[in-house]
């Protein structure tokens, strides 16, 4: 059984002016998501600025999220690293904190071969008992790509590696993956503009940035598809494209934090090296959000 089906939010991490995590705001964001139909919370991912969290903060944010969610939806914790040892440590701590599953990004910067990828994920998976979703995002990892054959081999050979969040943008590669998988890979879209195409290939849902500001709508894209209303799902997907484009006109999560601010959520500060959104791009985002009916 899949960890979740539908729309999981790649939730932002709010920070105070002094740089500390703002847990009060974080709790409010979690409650907003659950109240609006989000199917899972993905904490400490790219959108959550995990790369600028200390190990202690990383673990604390996961533990807080698990406690606040209190079993109402699955919590998937991002615990990947370019260091296998670090990924093992964070994964074990997330499991102790009560996370339902893990999201492991492809190692970045130092890169590795497909053999290295296999061994990296195998070592981490063998260190925990909870299920794991691989995270394939070459744009964030220096172009390193988990090939379809490697994903399938991992899911077939290692019981708790169950799927992949695909943010390659390469529909041809995803098609090959699902043809090879023969049902052994739970596929999640990592791109909000490709939810319906990946659902059509057998996907279970999306791990979404858009869900931070439009949780109900993102949930409904998936729900309508699974209910057999493909036309309705497609209409929602196409209606969201201008907004999605605006959400990625600067590096994530700069625009989505600005979008939440425009909706009245105080998301606090971005951690450097991320900076506030350029005025022209902020205007583009505001225009798209108005057209979508969010502000």
165 is catalytic: yes
Residues 6+ apart with CB under 8 A from 11: 29, 30, 33, 41, 42, 43, 45, 47, 48, 65, 212
**Chain centre to alpha carbon of residue 104:** 10
**Burial per residue of 258-294, b for 16 or more beta-carbon CB atoms within 10 angstroms, e otherwise:** bbbebeebebbbbeeebeebeeeebebbbebbeebeb
- If we measure between CA atoms, which residue out of 127, 65, 134 comes closest to residue 99? 65
Q: Which of 32, 89, 118, 135 is catalytic?
A: 135
What's the rounded Cα separation, in Å, for the pair 169 and 290? 27
Q: Torsions phi, psi of 126, nearest 5?
A: -75, -10
Can you point out the beta strands (E) in 100-208? Answer: 101-105, 132-136, 161-166, 186-189, 205-208
Decide the pairing of beta strands 161-166 and 132-136: parallel
Q: Which of 32, 118, 165, 188 is catalytic?
A: 165
44: left (phi over 0), alpha (psi -120 to 50) or beta: left
292 is catalytic: no
- The helix (run of H) or strand (run of E) holding residue 7 is strand 6-10
Positions marked catalytic: 135, 165
């Amino acid at each position: 059984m899949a960890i979740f089906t539908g729309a999981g939010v790649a939730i932002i991490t709010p920070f105070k002016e002094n740089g500390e995590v703002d847990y009060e705001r974080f709790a409010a964001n979690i409650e907003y998501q659950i109240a609006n139909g989000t199917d899972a919370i993905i904490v400490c991912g790219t959108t959550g600025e995990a790369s600028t969290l200390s190990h202690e903060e990383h673990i604390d944010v996961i533990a807080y999220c698990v406690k606040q969610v209190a079993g109402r939806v699955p919590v998937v914790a991002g615990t990947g690293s370019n260091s296998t040892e670090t990924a093992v440590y964070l994964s074990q701590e997330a499991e102790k904190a009560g996370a339902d599953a893990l999201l492991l990004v492809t190692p970045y910067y130092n890169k590795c071969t497909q053999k290295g990828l296999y061994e990296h994920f195998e070592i981490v998976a063998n260190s925990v008992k909870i299920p794991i979703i691989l995270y394939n995002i070459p744009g964030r990892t220096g172009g390193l790509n988990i090939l379809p054959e490697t994903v399938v081999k991992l899911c077939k050979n290692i019981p708790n590696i169950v799927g992949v969040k695909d943010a390659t943008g390469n529909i041809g590669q995803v098609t090959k993956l699902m043809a090879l998988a023969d049902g052994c890979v739970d596929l999640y879209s990592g791109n909000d503009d490709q939810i319906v195409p990946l659902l059509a290939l057998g996907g279970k849902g999306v791990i979404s940035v858009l869900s931070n500001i439009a949780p109900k709508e993102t949930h409904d894209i998936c729900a309508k598809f699974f209910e057999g209303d493909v036309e309705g799902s497609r209409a929602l997907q196409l209606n969201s494209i201008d907004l999605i484009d605006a959400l990625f006109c600067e590096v994530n999560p700069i625009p989505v934090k600005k979008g939440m601010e425009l909706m009245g959520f105080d998301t606090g500060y971005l951690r450097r090296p991320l900076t506030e959104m350029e005025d022209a791009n902020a205007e583009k985002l505001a225009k798209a959000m108005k057209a979508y009916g969010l502000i």
